[in-house]
């Protein structure tokens, strides 16, 4: 049984959620499941929570803060803030620790921590040289290569630090869409890709190529997703990236329900003083991929369904079901992975990659479905739950039964 260091990184959107979590985590620390809790936030957040600091201290929470990085102004998806926030928290974490990176608006309770503490995070094949142990994340998306959720992730310190990338290629090279006009860059799964991909460059050199063009895929933008997939599905290089992605998920990741049976709740209301009936996005429940595959759709129907919403999977079983379905459709994922592992940047590859960039630009220029209903990538097609804060504290000295809690469920997508 591991004792976990919990990092709560980011803005504090609701003071009551923060206080309740601090008390829950204090109980978990008393039971030996939590080693320490660190809240890492920004200087401009401290005035909001200054009156809470004595209570947080009494619950054993360490609070650290720093100024928001100026560099974040030119980067998409708050990626610089996210990297810096984790970095700030890790400054006082020992290199033998097991680390859960969470957020002040992610509900961290007994079931989540207990599941992670008891999990076997060993690699199936030791000595791979990339990571020392597997990393857990609540869900992954299976159209955008290397799109593992960064809302929360768990692993050994030695591997968590490998996910800390301060690379600024896209900002230096000016490749982010929108920056040339002086606007904030357009966001499309950039944070996830830029957190996870660099850690695997040495084992999968093809991903260095993907990293440089990934911010032209725009699969996280509902109005562009159909046009982008129409271009990408016919590209061998896309399937090389996807083949590498599937291989990485199999070897180096535990996903959602693989080890955590409880709900993983992201609390969306941002009213700092709201106390009851908080609506949550349940990151552990997304049946969209299973619903699609249940009908055994042909290639055209699969592509159309994948264009309608992100293909989020919350278990390795779901990931393998999608993998097998793609193979049945005739996509040679084994061969594409072999091609990726034998990657060479020769003259023909350079020319073909230039053509791929042009196709992506064509999809961007002509593929915007302006009348299409917007669907936020973090929301749909997850389900919604509600949490009643006054009833949610784990009483000191008690051990709740896994799966029990003060949650009202709504099975419809959020």
In which element (H, E) is residue 37 found? strand 34-42
Three-class DSSP category at 38: strand
Per-residue pLDDT, 386: 87
Nearest to 35 by CA among 45, 26, 48, 47: 26
Give the pLDDT score at 169. 86
What pLDDT was estimated at residue 344?
96
Percent of the chain surpassing pLDDT 90: 71
Q: How confident is the model at residue 383 (pLDDT cuts 50, 70, 90)?
A: confident
Q: Where are the domains of the chain?
A: 4-413
Give the Cα separation of 219 and 188 in Å (integer): 6
Q: Is 43 helix (H, G, I), strand (E, B) or coil?
A: helix
pLDDT of residue 82: 94
No. of H helices and E strands in the chain?
A: 16, 14
Rounded average pLDDT over 342-350: 97
The tokens of 9 are what? Answer: 């990184």
> Residue 281 in contact with residue 384, Cβ under 8 Å?
yes
**Average pLDDT, rounded, for the chain:** 89
Task: State mean pLDDT over 353-374.
Answer: 86
Q: Mind listing the pLDDT tens digit for each residue in 215-230?
A: 999 999 888 999 999 9
SS3 for 388? Answer: coil
pLDDT value, residue 360: 93
Q: Per-residue pLDDT for 160 more than 90?
A: yes
Looking only at the bridges linking them, the beta strands covering 4-9 and 98-102 are parallel
The answer for residues whose C-beta is within 8 angstroms of residue 244's C-beta and 6 or more apart is: 145, 200, 204, 206, 207, 210, 337, 340, 341
Whether residue 58 has pLDDT greater than 60: yes
Burial (CB count <10 Å: 0-12, 13-18, 19+), residue 409: exposed
Our measurement of the distance from residue 218's CA atom to the centroid of its chain's CA atoms, rounded to an integer in Å, reads 16
Comparing CA positions, the residue from 317, 315, 321, 291 lying closest to residue 305 is 291
Query: Partners of 387 in the beta sheet?
Result: 278, 407
383 membership: H or E segment, kind and range: strand 383-387
Give the pTM.
0.92
CA dist 357 and 355 (Å) reads: 5
User: For the ranges 33-37, 61-65, 264-268, 395-399, which has the lowest average pLDDT?
Assistant: 395-399
Grade residue 180 by pLDDT with cuts at 50, 70 and 90.
low
pLDDT digits (tens, 9 = 90+) for 240-264: 999 999 999 999 999 999 999 989 9
CA atoms of 399 and 403, how far apart (whole Å): 12
């Amino acid at each position: 049984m591991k004792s976990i260091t919990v990092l709560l990184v980011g803005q504090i959107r609701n003071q009551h959620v923060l206080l309740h979590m601090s008390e829950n985590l204090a109980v978990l620390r008393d039971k030996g499941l939590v080693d320490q809790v660190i809240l890492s936030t920004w200087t401009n957040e401290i005035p909001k929570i200054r009156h809470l600091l004595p209570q947080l201290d009494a619950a054993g929470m360490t609070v650290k803060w720093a100024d928001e990085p100026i560099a974040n102004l030119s980067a998409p998806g708050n990626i610089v803030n996210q990297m810096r926030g984790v970095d700030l928290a890790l400054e006082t974490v020992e290199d033998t620790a097991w680390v859960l990176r969470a957020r002040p608006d992610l509900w961290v309770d007994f079931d989540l921590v207990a599941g992670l503490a008891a999990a076997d995070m060993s690699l199936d094949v030791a000595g791979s040289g990339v990571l020392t142990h597997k990393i857990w994340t609540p869900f992954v998306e299976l159209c955008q290569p290397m799109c593992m959720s960064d809302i929360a992730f768990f692993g050994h310190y030695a591997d968590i630090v490998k996910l800390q990338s301060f690379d600024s290629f896209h900002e230096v090279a000016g490749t982010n869409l929108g920056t040339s006009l002086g606007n904030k860059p357009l966001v499309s799964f950039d944070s996830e890709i830029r957190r996870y991909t660099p850690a695997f460059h040495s084992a999968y050199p093809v991903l260095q190529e993907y990293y440089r063009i990934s911010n032209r895929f725009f699969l996280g933008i509902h109005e562009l997703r159909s046009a982008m997939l129409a271009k990408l599905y016919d590209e061998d290089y896309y399937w090389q990236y996807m083949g590498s992605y599937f291989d990485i998920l199999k070897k180096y990741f535990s996903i959602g329900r693989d080890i955590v049976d409880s709900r993983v709740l992201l609390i969306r209301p941002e009213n700092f003083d709201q106390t009851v009936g908080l609506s949550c996005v349940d990151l552990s429940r997304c049946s969209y991929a299973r619903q699609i595959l249940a009908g055994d759709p042909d290639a055209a129907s699969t592509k159309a369904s994948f264009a309608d919403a992100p293909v989020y999977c919350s278990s390795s079983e779901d990931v393998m079901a999608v993998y097998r379905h793609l193979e049945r459709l005739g996509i040679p994922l084994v061969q594409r992975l072999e091609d990726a592992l034998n990657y060479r940047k020769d003259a023909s590859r350079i020319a073909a990659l230039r053509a791929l960039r042009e196709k992506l630009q064509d999809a961007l220029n002509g593929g915007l479905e302006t009348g299409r209903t917007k669907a936020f990538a973090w929301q749909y097609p997850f389900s919604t739950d509600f949490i009643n804060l006054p009833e949610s504290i784990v009483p000191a000295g008690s051990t709740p039964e896994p799966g029990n809690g003060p949650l009202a469920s709504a099975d419809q997508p959020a």
